[in-house]
């Protein structure tokens, strides 16, 4: 539980709904209802037992305060939940009460509810990814030819294009989509094993009940229960953590480009958005901050789930419980970060003239590599490197343009004409495979060229 | 934000109250009120400005839904908060509105509120520690002579006493109290720097206002603002993380002693406490599970705060925000774990006869060291070790008692009489400095002996 | 770097070799050689340039001390490496020196070398998994009918079988194999982008050179360079972290079963293995400790890599470097843990009589659920639960057998005969779907039954 | 263990020496020698036993390869170490061999050696802090009046001074020194408890031996052994982690100020330092990268130690072992980061004219707050904020200077003259308490003003 105050920043209403207590209880009831149906099919519950439970699947009947109070004593939510459910069923159908929860253990209901929530939550995440991707694709295409400084170690280097930078984001996003798909495929699976994973309380009929229970919930049935094997859930969380990491990278790129001195890209500004309580002219990168905050928090959540994998025997002590608040939190952060990134992708403002100016700054030193490479073909990489390095240092110390110095350097001029040097120093001409790389990722660039 | 369902397990009502939104807003209002008071004293706010704000310090006037809505846009809670506060003050005193928040920045209000919450929260934590400690001291004294197997690598070794085990817990608890005290000392300090930490908006009077503001809130004034130096808060969190780690160690000890085959110690059982939804006879170590869960989660929270320390320039981007939900969470876990441990310490049941039986099991092998040491004084450590090792293996493989084998071993009997061997194998006599160690920690043991 | 003293515990010679400095340098040289070959094919390097480099691919020519010394200054290994390589090539072929490293940046060489190491390291890991799995399959089959207490919350519950426990381990292992396969598929991919990822130094020929370079190294070519998109590497690390987590779970299970009072399973003992310096009879679970240690350490390494994903622009500052020692460390821990688990699986000793005895302990309470379920079919789950709970408590407090109490309880006897109660209390008959679950995972069980 | 290649970046020779295997073995030998001396004093070892061991304290006699080989089997280093030591002592004095390691357990020797290493390592760290601090103090004094943009959310705000920024670093550094001192005070303490912490093997004389052993090693004696209470070590590690976090903040500040477009501060450049393999003119912030890398890695190490605190009973399984490589690693990172920061502090180049130019950029918007505050005193904070915000937006969109717009705004001019507006927009005059804050931290500023 946290200060509600900050939740708008770190979650979305849609994800909050999926992981609300009401949603959890409703999915637990669906599990119990499907179980009763399966028991009934196998002759282990009286006719009409499932029908008696069906009206309850919204879980509106639960007395939440007393549930939470009992949960504190019993150590989990399922025990008082089953008690309340049984009482409610009895009201409707005395006989049906006898088969409520039959064969199942608390964790069966809690885990299967979690799996059902995971299915919905992953669908939400993937729908956001699908909303974000085309926005980025559009930006990448639009800025395939928008030349800007490439930056390494936070220092300006030779040019790249904004389109290539964004294409890199897109490629990462697609890999995350693959990972999330595969993780969901593995994780969305029934949990049903009874007290110690043998379904012994159902005698010979355990496997039959398990299969029809899975079918009723439209879940895959695993080979065996996985109460203390949490790798599937951790995989989902780790995939979300990686997604958030990539979003953090995008946000930091944007925030760095939005610095006052750089001014190349900016988040959309809106009324009341990113204002400062003291600095009236400021427009803060609020969306970037929210995403970077998510990227700062997600690793700590993943580490908790990884640490919690060492669960004892048939059901663990304390490590399972450590997942309860941690796992949904990663979904919340991921959804919030995606939503913020969608806002950035949609409203991003780009300032090509600042990009050009920044490339030109420092006397055109960003283009030093181009000359170095051209010279290397004539005089070897090392000598070329040496010559250009010396010229670069002179340009810096004498505050002159690199081109001027190079043109005045006899050993350079012995191999390159003034026009050649000028051409080499034009950033628009020094983009190598950038265009092709963008084309590979987003297509439709070459045509638009 | 989390599934409310699990919060009873991972927090306490008292700590929830301290870190509630209402509490945060009320402390922010106190900051603003004290600031207005200080401004008024310095002649920077009109007479009566502070008086106009005083009735508002409960922050009841806040329209919370609209506050949260605006916070999502502006990136933090303080901006809409100041807007609402200013409007409210204006209703009371038009002139006073002009000086609301004067000189301060959002983070000044948020951080000082956090510091005020920290002061209360640490007091709560320390009061729990002070409740827990005498309970443990009593147990340590009571069980100073309760002999049980010492266990290393989860294998039984020579005897120790339950009192010594608990004395170890107490000593750790006291170190944590020292750490929390020192951390609180450093952390409970005013935050007041304005936009970039210079208090420039107050001109020459910044320092004067800062000093009287600190005084009004009964906070220490730091040498300079610390907006992007978060070490004091991280220290508090790390100290709580360590405390939780030690509580986790205690809880795991208890849970291991409570295993069916061991049965030496047990959590208090209560009606509805630790029951199983499928196993009617079971009594689960619910308090232990809650504590171990806290100990599994706390490291991930500390790691987030440590990672978030790299905050840029005068105020950071995203890393500060990463603290918002994380920092209070550690307090919640710590308080919940302490409360559970108090329950354990108060109701702990001890089964000395099981301890004795477990020590006797395996043919008395636990006492092998005693014989080995006694022999070593005569024939050297290595030969003694060898002889006893061989005897131990025979005892195991032939399922006989170690004493029997030793008495039948001529080389042993050459140095030790049968009575001596019997004496050496009596665990009650083989406790070395245990008593003295307990005495050092809890006192009053020797007298009670 | 670490205390060499502990490395035998946390790595294997095979993995140490793959991630040795020599191996890294050799793979960097292979990258440079393949690059030269691709440049030569594209007409960007003189004929014979690749041939001149080919004899150097073992990297034996490197002067390691001076390399490390320069690396400290330049910030990475590749700069002095390229310098030494160029000098060496020049000795052989003056002209060839001009094209060494042409178009590439340091990170291209370092990352591609890392990818080549990853390919080998994953192959090693998977070969260990393939060694471990059949050993576990054999144990699962052999112990499909070995009845033992199921344990939840570290408390004994109804019976399970050792075979089912191990089948759970196997199922997890197979999921990890899938994950590692998919992660490797994505991660084993060329890195080649030049200074800022555009390959601009190669002009029009960048893409052509990239494709043939990838081919020469038998690596997949990515759509575009990924210098600051580290998700593929993090995925590998996270998959290893999850594998280690599951191994940790297995090891903790074994260590708990090996406790003196439990004594159901034991690591192989060997000469000098797991001995204690003070307790001659002890045999410590050394392999379990090594695995649990790995499982305690791996999450901290994964968290570092996740945190380091937020890499700036075209190449990051500090976060890339944070991967250097962290990424190989996870491979080392994984390989060490697998090797230890192979040892456990191969030499594991099982004590069925202790399992039976532990199930029988506590007056047969472990079987309470069976009676409860049988009664529930007659009198409803809640009343049955109540009756058995009361009987269980009496059995405990009066230190009598549960069967005895039940037989003496009229309401029970009204529904169950003495023989029926005896049958219900026989753990061998209460295994539900255990056999079928094992069969699904390992096959060949039913036949052997 | 890691790729040696990267160690120059992440450690120092001095710290490597302290945590080398040889150093560890030598400190273990010192422990054994001091123990023998204490035993001899207590009459538990023959006369001359300590003298026989004294020549061995360098541990040169150890056959390291066989030691490591045995360690892999026995699970720790101490067992084969004691074996080799005993053999060596026997060569010198047959009788003395009998008392080697008497009463101690492996962990006593390993932990006390670690404590001795900790004492040296903390001294090294503190000596670096003491080297760094005056360098920073000098910079803070020198730049007390060097005006630069304050930056929040990576956006330029009103001015601060470089001196104030550095004073913030210094204040943090001093808090870390306090913490490290307190942590060292608690952690540098003898470990001596024997097999299960009772010193039973020494009978009545355990406490006496313990006290003289501690005295001989000049260590504080704890109330009782702390084999499974690791909080003192975790505190040291957490304090180092916090120190590294603060160094990371400093390094990121410098790296951001060193960006091409900002250019306000730069690391010292040196021959071969920070060069690029492809960009001849570049000078990378190598020291910053090393420090940020350390700050990215340290949290993952602290999290491991925190997780490992839950150690079972008298000695833990696997969690203790998880500390072995992790704990020294934090010292290495801390020392490397400090050394790099010393380099930065010593050679830092500052470009005040760039600072001034960056403040002037954006038409002087950075000074908007000053006008806003001045107006607020006349027309209320909200109206003033509104007026200045509008003027700022116009300045941006019309690309004019803020002063120009304000002077042309009647409502502004109604309250402020042109000269007043000019004065308000002069950053050198808008520094509030900056000077006083610096003076508090470093002193000597006011005099030098």
Report the CATH number that the domain containing residue B201 is assigned in CATH: 1.10.275.10
Which CATH number belongs to the domain containing residue D237 in this structure?
Answer: 1.20.200.10
**Residue C8 confidence class, pLDDT cut points 50, 70, 90:** low
Instruction: Answer yes or no: do D155 and A282 touch at CB < 8 A.
Output: yes
Tokens linked to C406: 């039940």
Residues A321 and A332 in one domain: yes
Residues 6+ positions from C447 with CB-CB distance below 8 Å: none
Q: Which residues of D fall within a CB distance of 8 Å from A289?
A: 153
Residues of A in contact with D158 (CB under 8 A): 279
Q: Contact A231/C172, CB-based, under 8 Å?
A: yes
The whole-angstrom separation of Cα B252 and Cα D96 is: 41
Question: Which of A241, A313, A382 is the closest to C152 by Cβ?
Answer: A313
Q: Hunting for tokens 């003491």 — which residue is that? A: D130
Which residues from D are below 8 Å from C201, CB to CB? 278
Share of chain B above pLDDT 70, in %: 94
Indicate if the pLDDT at residue B351 is higher than 70: yes
Among the residue ranges B431-445, C366-380, D149-163, D300-314, the one predicted with the least confidence is C366-380
- D106 contacts chain B (CB < 8 A): no
Give B156-182 pLDDT, tens digit per residue. 999 999 999 999 999 999 999 999 999
* pLDDT tens sequence across C100-138: 999 999 999 999 999 999 999 999 999 999 999 999 999
Q: Are residues C181 and C250 in the same domain?
A: yes
Which pLDDT value is given to residue C3?
A: 41
DSSP SS3 for B401: coil
What is the b/e burial string over D129-158, where b = at least 16 CB atoms within 10 angstroms of the residue's CB? beebbebbbebbbebbbbbbbbbbbbbbbb
Check whether D146 has a pLDDT greater than 60.
yes
* Chain B residues closer than 8 Å to D45 by CB: none
The answer to whether residues C194 and D278 touch, using CB atoms and an 8 Å cutoff, is yes
Reported confidence tier of residue D445, pLDDT bands at 50, 70, 90: confident
Do D251 and D400 lie in one domain? The reply is: no
Q: What's chain B's length in residues?
A: 449
- Residue partners of B171: CB distance under 8 A and separation at least 6: B441, D222, D223, D224, D226, D229
Identify which of C88-97, C325-334, D427-436 has the greatest average pLDDT.
C325-334
Residue in chain A closest to C177 (alpha carbons) equals: A231
Indicate if B195 and B91 belong to the same structural domain: yes
Contact residues on chain D for C297, CB-CB shorter than 8 A: 304, 322, 325-326
Residue C7 predicted with pLDDT over 80:
no
The helix/strand/coil state of A58 is coil
Q: Half-sphere exposure of residue B303, counting CA atoms within 13 Å on the CB side? A: 36
Examine the domain organization and report whether C299 and C344 are in the same domain.
yes
Among residues C45, C359, D382, which one has the least CA distance to residue B261?
C359
| Arithmetic mean of pLDDT, C372-397 | 87
Q: Does D69 touch chain C (CB under 8 A)?
A: yes
Residue of B90, B222, B309 to mutate, interface with D, max D Cβ within 10 Å = B309
| Neighbouring-strand partners of residue D265 | D350
The greatest distance separating any two alpha carbons of chain B, rounded to the nearest whole angstrom, comes to 102
* pLDDT-based confidence at residue D76 (cuts at 50, 70, 90): confident
Q: Is D349 a catalytic residue?
A: no
Cα D342 from chain centroid?
Answer: 12
D-chain residues within 8 Å CB-CB of B379? 98
pLDDT value at position D148? 97
Condensed to tens digits (0 to 9), the pLDDT of residues A117-176 reads 999 999 999 999 999 999 999 999 999 999 999 999 999 999 999 999 999 999 999 999
pLDDT of D449 reads: 47
Looking at the predicted structure, is the pLDDT value of residue A1 above 70?
Answer: no
Q: Are B114 and C245 in contact (CB under 8 A)?
A: no
D331 and D372 in a common domain: no
Decide: helix, strand or coil at residue C4: helix
Q: A315 φ, ψ to 5°?
A: -150, 135
- Alpha-carbon distance of D402 to D397, in angstroms, equals 11
Between residues 293 and 322 of chain B, which touch chain A (CB distance below 8 Å)? 293, 295-297, 299-304, 307-308, 317-319, 321-322
CATH of the domain at D388: 1.10.40.30
At residue D310 the predicted structure's pLDDT band, cuts being 50, 70 and 90, is very high
Q: Tell me the three state secondary structure of residue D274.
A: coil
* Residue B77 sits at the chain A interface (C-beta within 8 Å): yes
| D104 close contact with B: CB closer than 8 A | no
Q: Classify strands B265-266 and A349-350 as parallel, antiparallel or unpaired.
A: unpaired
Chains in contact with chain C (at least 3 beta-carbon pairs closer than 8 A): A, B, D
Residues D347 and D272 in one domain: yes
Q: Do B309 and D248 touch (CB under 8 A)?
A: yes
DSSP C93: -
Chains touching D (3+ CB pairs < 8 Å):
A, B, C
- Collapsing DSSP to helix, strand or coil, D152 comes out as strand
Query: What mean pLDDT, rounded, does chain C reach?
Result: 92
Alpha-carbon distance A336 to nearest alpha carbon in chain D (angstroms):
19
Q: What is the mean pLDDT of residues C360-388?
A: 85
Closest to D445 (Cα-Cα) out of D172, D139, D183, D150? D139
User: Is residue D272 over pLDDT 60?
Assistant: no
Section B241-269 average pLDDT: 96
pLDDT of residue A369: 84
pLDDT exceeds cutoff 60 at B277: no
Give tens-digit pLDDT for C386-444: 899 899 888 888 888 999 999 999 999 999 999 999 999 998 888 889 999 999 999 98
Contact state of A432 with C242 under an 8 Å Cβ cutoff: no
Residue matched to tokens 């209460």: C430
| D154 contacts chain C (CB < 8 A) | no
How far apart are alpha carbons C149 and A196 in whole angstroms?
A: 9
Contacts of D398 in chain A (CB under 8 A): none
In the prediction, which pLDDT does B17 show? 96
Q: Could you please report the per-residue DSSP string of C337-362?
A: HHHHHHHHHHH-EE-HHHHHHHHHTG
Going by C-alpha positions, the residue among D8, D198, D20, D35 that lies closest to residue D112 is: D35
Q: What is the DSSP letter of A60?
A: T
Does one domain contain both C120 and C10?
no
Neighbours of B182 (CB within 10 A): 17
Kindly report, residue by residue over D219-269, the tens digit of the pLDDT: 999 999 999 999 999 999 999 999 999 999 999 999 999 999 999 999 987
Q: What is the mean pLDDT of residues D286-292?
A: 96
User: Which chain B residues have a beta carbon less than 8 Å from that of A292?
Assistant: 317-319, 321-322
The contacts of residue C408 (CB under 8 Å, 6+ apart) are none
Interface test with B, best of C148, C151, C154, C253 (most B CBs within 10 A): C154
Would an 8 Å CB–CB cutoff place C261 in contact with chain B? yes
Nearest CB among A196, A201, A434 relative to C160 is that of: A196
**List of residues 6+ apart from C432 with CB closer than 8 A:** A194, A198, A199, A200, A201, A202, A203, A206
- Region C357-381 average pLDDT: 86
According to DSSP, the residues that pair with A315 across neighbouring strands are C152
pLDDT band of residue A271 (cuts 50, 70, 90) is low
Instruction: Check whether B358 has a pLDDT greater than 70.
Output: yes
The answer to whether residues A8 and B1 touch, using CB atoms and an 8 Å cutoff, is no
Distance CA A219, CA D428 (A): 68
pLDDT computed for residue B3 by the predictor? 41
10 Å Cβ neighbour count for C447?
8
Hey, what are A305's tokens? 């789930």
Looking at residue A278, its pLDDT comes to 54
- B341 CB near a chain D CB, below 8 Å? no
The Cα of C271 is separated from the nearest Cα of chain B by a number of Å equal to: 12
- What is the average pLDDT across D400-428? 92
**Contact between chains at D318 and C324 (C-beta distance less than 8 A):** no
Q: Domains in chain B: how many in total?
A: 3
**Between chains, do A71 and B19 touch, taking CB under 8 Å as contact?**
no
State yes or no: pLDDT of D274 exceeds 70. no
Q: Please, what is the average pLDDT of chain A?
A: 92
Which residues of chain D from 130 to 149 reach within 8 Å of chain A, CB to CB? 149
Please pick, among B127, B276, B307, B417, the residue that the annotation labels catalytic.
Answer: B276
> Which two three-digit tokens encode residue D91?
């060569």
d(CA C3, CA A240): 35
**Same domain membership, residue D304 and residue D244:** yes
pLDDT at B272 over 60: no
pLDDT at A382 over 90: no
- Residue/partner pairs of C53-62 with CB below 8 Å, 24 or more apart: C53/C29, C53/C85, C53/C89, C53/C96, C53/C100, C55/C92, C56/C29, C56/C85, C56/C88, C56/C89, C57/C26, C57/C29, C57/C30, C57/C33, C58/C26, C58/C29, C59/C22, C59/C25, C59/C26, C59/C28, C59/C29, C61/C85, C61/C88, C62/C25
Q: Is A428 exposed, middle or buried (0-12, 13-18, 19+ CB in 10 A)?
A: exposed
C259 pLDDT more than 80: yes
Rounded percentage of chain C residues whose pLDDT exceeds 90 = 79
State the first-to-last Cα distance of chain B, in angstroms, to the nearest integer: 52
Q: Let me know the angle formed at the C-alpha of D432 by D429 and D438, rounded to the nearest 5 degrees.
A: 110
Q: Which residues 386-415 of chain A have a CB within 8 Å of chain C?
A: none
- Residues D390, D440 within the same domain: no
What's the gap in Å between the CA of B255 and the closest CA on chain D? 10
Catalytic residue among A20, A276, A307, A417: A276
Which chain D residues are closer than 8 Å to A389 by Cβ?
280-281
Question: CB of C249 within 8 Å of any CB in chain A?
Answer: yes
Q: In this predicted structure, which of A18-22, B112-116, B363-367 has the lowest mean pLDDT?
A: B363-367
Mean pLDDT of B218-240: 98
Interface contact flag, A369 D307, Cβ < 8 Å: no
Chains that touch A (3 or more CB pairs under 8 A): B, C, D
For helices A64-74 and A78-92, what crossing angle results, to 10°?
Answer: 130
State how far residue B276 is from chain C, nearest Cα, in angstroms: 10
Residue A388 and residue C195 in contact, taking contact as beta carbons nearer than 8 Å: no
Looking at the fold, whether C30 and C71 belong to one and the same domain comes out as yes
Verify whether the Cβ–Cβ distance A373 to C430 is below 8 Å: no
Q: 3-state class of A265 per DSSP?
A: strand
Catalytic residue among D315, D332, D394, D431: D315
d(CA D154, CA D176): 26
- pLDDT at residue B279, as a whole number: 55
Which range of residues forms the domain containing residue C148? Answer: 105-189+226-360+433-449
B242 and chain D in contact, CB less than 8 A: yes
Average pLDDT in chain B: 92
Hey, is the C-beta of B152 within 8 angstroms of any chain C C-beta?
yes
| Residues B181 and B112 placed together within one structural domain of the fold | yes
Each residue of C64-82: b (16+ CB within 10 Å) or e? eeebbebbbbbbbbbbbbb
Q: Touching check for B286 and chain A: CB below 8 Å?
A: yes
Q: Residue C188: phi, psi to the nearest 5?
A: -85, 85
**pTM to 2 decimal places:** 0.96
Q: State the DSSP H helix or E strand holding residue B161, giving kind and residue range, or none if neither.
A: strand B155-161
Q: Quick one: tokens of A335?
A: 């959804």
State the residue for tokens 């982008």: C193
Give the residue from C63, C69, C90, C67 showing the smallest Cα distance to C78.
C67
Q: Would residue A276 show up in a list of annotated catalytic residues for this protein?
A: yes
Count CB neighbours of D60 within 10 A: 11
pLDDT at position D5: 47
What pLDDT is attached to residue C86? 95
Q: How far apart are CA A208 and CA A200, in angstroms?
A: 13
The residue with greater pLDDT, D244 or D366, is: D244
Which range of A6-15, A440-449, B204-213, C393-402 scores highest in mean pLDDT? It is B204-213
Considering only the beta carbons, identify the residue of D256, D280, D372 that sits closest to A392: D280
How far apart are the C-alpha atoms of D404 and D363, rounded to whole Å?
9
- CA nearest to C2 within chain D: D1
Q: What pLDDT score was predicted for residue B4?
A: 45
Within its chain, how far is the Cα of A312 from the centroid? Answer: 30
């Amino acid at each position: 539980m946290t200060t509600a105050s900050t939740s708008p920043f770190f979650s979305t209403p849609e994800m909050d709904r999926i992981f609300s207590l009401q949603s959890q209880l409703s999915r637990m009831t669906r599990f119990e209802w499907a179980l009763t149906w399966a028991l009934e099919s196998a002759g282990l519950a009286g006719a009409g037992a499932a029908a008696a439970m069906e009206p309850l699947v919204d879980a509106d009947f639960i007395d939440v305060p007393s549930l939470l109070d009992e949960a504190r004593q019993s150590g989990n939510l399922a025990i008082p939940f089953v008690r309340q459910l049984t009482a409610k069923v009895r009201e409707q159908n005395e006989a049906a009460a006898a088969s409520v929860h039959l064969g199942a253990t608390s964790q069966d209901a809690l885990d299967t509810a979690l799996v059902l929530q995971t299915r919905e939550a992953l669908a939400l995440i993937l729908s956001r990814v699908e909303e974000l991707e085309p926005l980025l694709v559009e930006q990448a295409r639009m800025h395939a030819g928008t030349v800007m400084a490439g930056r390494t170690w936070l220092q300006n280097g030779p040019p790249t294009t904004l389109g290539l930078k964004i294409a890199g984001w897109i490629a990462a996003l697609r890999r995350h989509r693959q990972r999330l798909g595969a993780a969901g495929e593995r994780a969305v699976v029934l949990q049903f094993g009874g007290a110690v994973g043998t379904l012994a309380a159902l005698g010979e009929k355990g496997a039959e009940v398990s299969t029809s229970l899975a079918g009723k919930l439209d879940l895959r049935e695993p080979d065996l229960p996985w109460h203390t094997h949490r790798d599937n859930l951790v995989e989902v969380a780790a995939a979300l953590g990686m997604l958030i990491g990539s979003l953090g990278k995008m946000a930091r790129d944007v925030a760095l480009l939005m610095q006052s001195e750089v001014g190349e890209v900016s988040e959309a500004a809106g009324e009341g958005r990113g204002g400062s309580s003291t600095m009236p002219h400021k427009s803060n990168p609020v969306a970037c901050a929210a995403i970077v905050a998510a990227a700062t928090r997600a690793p700590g959540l993943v580490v908790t789930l990884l640490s919690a994998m060492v669960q004892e025997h048939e059901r663990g002590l304390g490590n399972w419980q450590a997942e309860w608040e941690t796992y949904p939190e990663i979904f919340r952060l991921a959804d919030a970060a995606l939503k913020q990134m969608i806002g950035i992708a949609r409203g991003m403002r780009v300032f090509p003239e600042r990009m050009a100016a920044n490339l030109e700054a420092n006397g055109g030193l960003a283009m030093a590599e181009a000359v170095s490479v051209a010279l290397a073909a004539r005089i070897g990489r090392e000598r070329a490197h040496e010559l250009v390095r010396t010229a670069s240092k002179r340009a810096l110390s004498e505050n002159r343009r690199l081109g001027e110095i190079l043109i005045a350097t006899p050993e350079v001029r012995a191999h390159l004409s003034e026009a050649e040097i000028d051409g080499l120093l034009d950033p628009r001409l020094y983009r190598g495979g950038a265009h092709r790389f963008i084309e590979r990722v987003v297509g439709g660039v070459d045509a638009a060229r």
